[in-house]
Amino acid sequence: MTQINTLIAENTEYVINLRRYFHMHPENSGEEFQTAIKIEEELDKIGIPHHRFGTTGVIATLSGNPSSNRTILLRADTDALPMQDEKTCDYASQTPDIMHACGHDAHTASLLLAAKVLKRTESDWNGNVKLAFQPAEEIGHGALELISANELANVDAVFSLHVASSMDSGLIGVRSGPMMASCDSFDITVTGRSGHVSAPHLSIDALYTACSIVTQLQSIVSRKVDPIESAVVGVGVLHSGTSYNIVADNAFIQGTTRAFTHATRKLLNESVTRIAENTAAANGAKVNIVFKDANAPLINDPEWTTRMVNACSREFGEESIRSDIPQSLGADDFAELLALRPGVYMRVGTRSAADPNTAVSHHHPHFDIDETTLIKAARLFILAVEENGNL
């Protein structure tokens, strides 16, 4: 719509300044206290009612033309990462050892711009909108807090997006069905019995048992998962032992599983448990396994994906949309919302040839974005509202 695009363009400086504010004042997952206050201040200026969920989550609501009673939830994550910002720019993080190295500052600013425009054009779109400014995405807790607060009640569809340094500025990426993997972590504690290495038969070697478990875990993907399907079982930590001549009486293993379907996720986690228990038993050791469920696989609804691809093609041109981007073994807790409601998650390219910092990977100390793409992200949020109102 002409009015919407005009309003977005008129607020370019507004959204850039907001993004830079959030970039300069990052907060770690679960500690987004000042971020939430700033979001609430902006919503008050716009005139949109809001309330908290959890401790640092913010929900705002607004309604358009009552010809539709459908409700869509738009989500932006708000947390930063525990790492030092090494950029030399006037909007670099002012908080030591914390920075927005993933782009959540951009998501928050773009959703606030979308909110401002949606408020000004309430008669031009149909249905209802919930704006979810969600904390703690990086640790996989924020979406579950939102769900626990019953914020999905009466919600018909959900939408979110993420900036992408892997794509040229202005390009939009999506794929139907599984797009990102699940992410679970596991802690395995092995308990044996110590003794002198010269008499191994009198002890139970926890280190040997742990090494056997790690080796056997590598067989899960190669022997239990369909070769056509991608999956990961990885071990990143193995601690054991105190001296070269003491049989270790305990060992600690920490790893992760990743999968693109709910069924494969279940298979991987059950296999990790079975292998750890059986290997420990075979060596006379004991084992304790603790799984930490972070994220479900992110699976886009096919109908919603098609609707948004078509809407983006009409709005930005077919050349701007990539509708079959590669799957990613990374994770996003927006997957928890998509597991309960239909919707779609999209990527917005932010890589500019003019600034090498926009081409580095996410979670890099020089991470930055091409800020001209903030208005496209805001328009994407509004396109989702329009599509929801047309159903």
Residues acting as catalytic residues: 79, 137
Token pair, residue 105, equals 């500052």
* Angstrom distances, CA of residue 294 to CA of 112, 218, 264: 27, 21, 15
Instruction: Give Cβ neighbours of residue 277 (< 8 Å, ≥ 6 apart).
Output: 287, 289
Per DSSP, what are the bridge partners of residue 235? 255
188 three-state secondary structure? strand
**DSSP secondary structure string, 306-339?**
HHHHHHHHHHH-GGGEETTPPPBS---THHHHHT
Distance CA 285, CA 289 (A): 13
Distance CA 67, CA 142 (A): 32
Angle (CA) 346 347 353, round 5°: 160
Distance CA 161, CA 374 (A): 11
Would you call 5 exposed, middle or buried from its count of C-beta atoms within 10 A (0-12, 13-18, 19+)? middle
CB 117 within 8 A of CB 7: yes
238 three-state secondary structure? strand
To which residue do tokens 């000042």 refer?
34
286-295 vs 183-191, strand pairing mode: antiparallel
On the CB side of 321, how many CA atoms lie within 13 Å of its CA?
19
CB 183 within 8 A of CB 226: no
Distance CA 386, CA 127 (A): 9
Q: What is the CA radius of gyration of the chain?
A: 24
CB 300 within 8 A of CB 347: no
